[in-house]
Amino acid sequence: MTEIPAAIQRFIDTTNAADDDGFVANFTDDAYLEDWGRGFHGHDGARAWNASDNIGKRSRFELVDAEQVGDDWVVTVTVSGDGYNRTSPIRFTVDGDRISRMLITP
């Protein structure tokens, strides 16, 4: 498997450690997150999504696969917890050492 950018690995690690502040800090100030058509902007948006759909649901991620697609990364994870429980791809755009865009589509 291809080595993933540090920002994406931190996304997984901070989720699994239930580190809310570390999770939010992993995103750029102007980040955009989209989860099945619901959009979230910036650190406030990342914090809201994290509370409603991620650490707030005690999610855990297991990395299954990763592939670079142009400037983006498509990372497939198996999700478990009190919410969504399946394997799903997540598309990331990384800016420097942080995530600037995250898309979860149906």
| Residue 48 forms part of a structural domain | yes
| Residue 53 forms part of a structural domain | yes
Can you say whether the dihedral through the CA atoms of 2, 71, 7, 101 is positive or negative?
A: negative
| Residue 3 forms part of a structural domain | no
Q: What is the pLDDT of residues 19-40, one digit of tens each?
A: 999 999 999 999 999 999 999 9
Structural domain harbouring 38 = 10-104
**CATH number of the structural domain spanning residue 94:** 3.10.450.50
Split at pLDDT 50, 70, 90, the class of 106 is confident
| Residue 56 forms part of a structural domain | yes
Rounded to the nearest angstrom, the gap between the alpha carbon of residue 45 and the centroid of all alpha carbons in its chain is: 12
Write down the mean pLDDT value for the chain.
97
Count the domains in the chain.
1
Q: What is the pLDDT of residue 10?
A: 98
Split at pLDDT 50, 70, 90, the class of 18 is very high
| Residue 1 forms part of a structural domain | no
Split at pLDDT 50, 70, 90, the class of 1 is low
| Residue 43 forms part of a structural domain | yes
Residue 68 CB contacts under 8 Å (≥ 6 apart), including other chains: 2
Q: What is the pLDDT of residues 58-86, one digit of tens each?
A: 999 999 999 999 999 999 999 999 999 99
